[in-house]
């Protein structure tokens, strides 16, 4: 049909290239890309994101990005896409090159590019560079996304007090993601009581909780054996229709298993009520039986899993 079109414009070229990219037919997509008489930044981004998101085409993505620089077709989307690839493959040296290009071209002022740089440096093991990017940015360019990225980077590095300081600054930028990042960050770093207190503050300040909030606090409750709050979270999750979330369900099963032998029946009831059980839920239930010295129940459940 494309070949029969009497007139083709940049939109039709992009549409057909995008179709082949989505079907992972990169040979045909690239042939059409090369044949396109006019290439705008959308067509370049279509090819670039296709290469980045498909395993085995990362080299082509890098070469295309270099080509885009020569023809001046690099915009914010291409930069954040490449920074995502750099982060995924831990290509720190190339990430620094992208950052250098951003500074020279003026794209470093982009809010989305700012958060992508913070994540890239943090996940590539250069926390101080991520902090320099954040701290050196004009106040007007720091938004909720970049602030949340910096808080997460602090927790990734184990800098809990710095995370608290970033979170506490410019509180008007905080959203549900900010609170969830703080709660999960403290819980994962072994400060369960702090995570629970943050969850209570989150509710007091009127922020909406979600399955990530519940899952993090349920894990914290199981660590400190706070069964009372754990049961409240279970009740809230049922009320909000979140009880079937696999991550939350596994946290709740683990909570009941850890909070005394008397709650193994409650753990099993919750386990049996789940229509879809991932390996995390199965592991939580079986290990709960083992820790409660109910090895026969553990073996029966294990055999049932293998037979199903």
Domain that holds residue 229: 224-308
Predicted confidence at residue 52, as pLDDT, reads 93
Domain assignment present for residue 287? The answer is yes
Q: Report how far residue 280's alpha carbon sits from residue 84's, in angstroms, rounded to the nearest whole number.
A: 28
Domain assignment present for residue 294? The answer is yes
Q: Report how far residue 241's alpha carbon sits from residue 142's, in angstroms, rounded to the nearest whole number.
A: 35
Predicted confidence at residue 73, as pLDDT, reads 74
Residues 6 or more apart whose CB falls under 8 angstroms from that of 21 comprise 29, 46, 47, 49, 50
Predicted confidence at residue 111, as pLDDT, reads 74
Predicted confidence at residue 121, as pLDDT, reads 97
Predicted confidence at residue 8, as pLDDT, reads 62
**How confident is the model over 150-184, as pLDDT tens digits?**
999 999 999 999 999 999 999 999 999 999 999 99
The count of structural domains within the chain is 1
Domain assignment present for residue 228? The answer is yes
Predicted confidence at residue 183, as pLDDT, reads 95
Domain assignment present for residue 89? The answer is no
Predicted confidence at residue 21, as pLDDT, reads 93
Domain assignment present for residue 148? The answer is no
How large is the C-alpha radius of gyration of the chain?
Answer: 25
Predicted confidence at residue 209, as pLDDT, reads 79
How is residue 242 written in tokens? 């979140």
Domain assignment present for residue 206? The answer is no
With a cut of 50, list the residues of the chain below it in pLDDT: 1-2, 6
Burial 24-58 (b: 16+ CB within 10 A, else e): eebeebbebbeebeebebbbbbbbbbbbbbeeebb
How is residue 288 written in tokens? 């709960």
Q: Report how far residue 18's alpha carbon sits from residue 29's, in angstroms, rounded to the nearest whole number.
A: 8
Predicted confidence at residue 28, as pLDDT, reads 93
Domain assignment present for residue 277? The answer is yes
Scanning the structure block, which residue is given the tokens 């606090």?
Answer: 217
Q: Report how far residue 43's alpha carbon sits from residue 50's, in angstroms, rounded to the nearest whole number.
A: 11
pTM of the model: 0.82
* Collapsed DSSP state (helix, strand, coil) of residue 190: coil
Domain assignment present for residue 59? The answer is no
**How confident is the model over 121-146, as pLDDT tens digits?**
999 999 999 999 999 887 777 899 99
């Amino acid at each position: 049909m494309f070949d029969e079109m009497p007139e083709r414009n940049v939109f039709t070229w992009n549409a057909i290239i995008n179709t082949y990219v989505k079907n992972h037919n990169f040979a045909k997509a690239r042939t059409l890309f090369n044949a396109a008489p006019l290439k705008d930044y959308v067509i370049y981004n279509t090819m670039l994101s296709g290469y980045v998101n498909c395993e085995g085409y990362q080299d082509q993505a890098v070469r295309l990005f270099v080509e885009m620089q020569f023809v001046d077709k690099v915009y914010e989307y291409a930069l954040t896409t490449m920074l995502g690839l750099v982060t995924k493959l831990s290509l720190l040296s190339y990430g620094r090159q992208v950052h250098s290009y951003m500074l020279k071209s003026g794209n470093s002022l982009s809010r989305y590019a700012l958060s992508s740089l913070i994540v890239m440096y943090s996940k590539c093991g250069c926390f101080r560079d991520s902090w320099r990017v954040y701290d050196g940015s004009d106040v007007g360019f720091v938004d909720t996304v970049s602030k949340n990225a910096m808080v997460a980077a602090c927790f990734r590095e184990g800098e809990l007090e710095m995370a608290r300081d970033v979170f506490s600054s410019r509180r008007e930028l905080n959203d549900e993601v900010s609170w969830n990042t703080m709660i999960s960050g403290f819980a994962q770093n072994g400060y369960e009581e702090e995570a629970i207190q943050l969850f209570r503050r989150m509710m007091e300040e009127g922020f909406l909780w979600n399955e990530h909030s519940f899952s993090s606090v349920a894990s914290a409750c199981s660590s400190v054996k706070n069964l009372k709050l754990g049961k409240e979270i279970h009740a809230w999750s049922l009320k909000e229709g979140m009880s079937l979330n696999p991550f939350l369900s596994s946290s709740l099963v683990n909570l009941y298993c850890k909070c005394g032998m008397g709650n193994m029946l409650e753990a099993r009831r919750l386990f049996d009520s789940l229509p879809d059980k991932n390996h995390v839920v199965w592991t939580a239930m079986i290990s709960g039986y083992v820790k409660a010295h109910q090895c026969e129940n553990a073996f029966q459940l294990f055999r049932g899993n293998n037979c199903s």
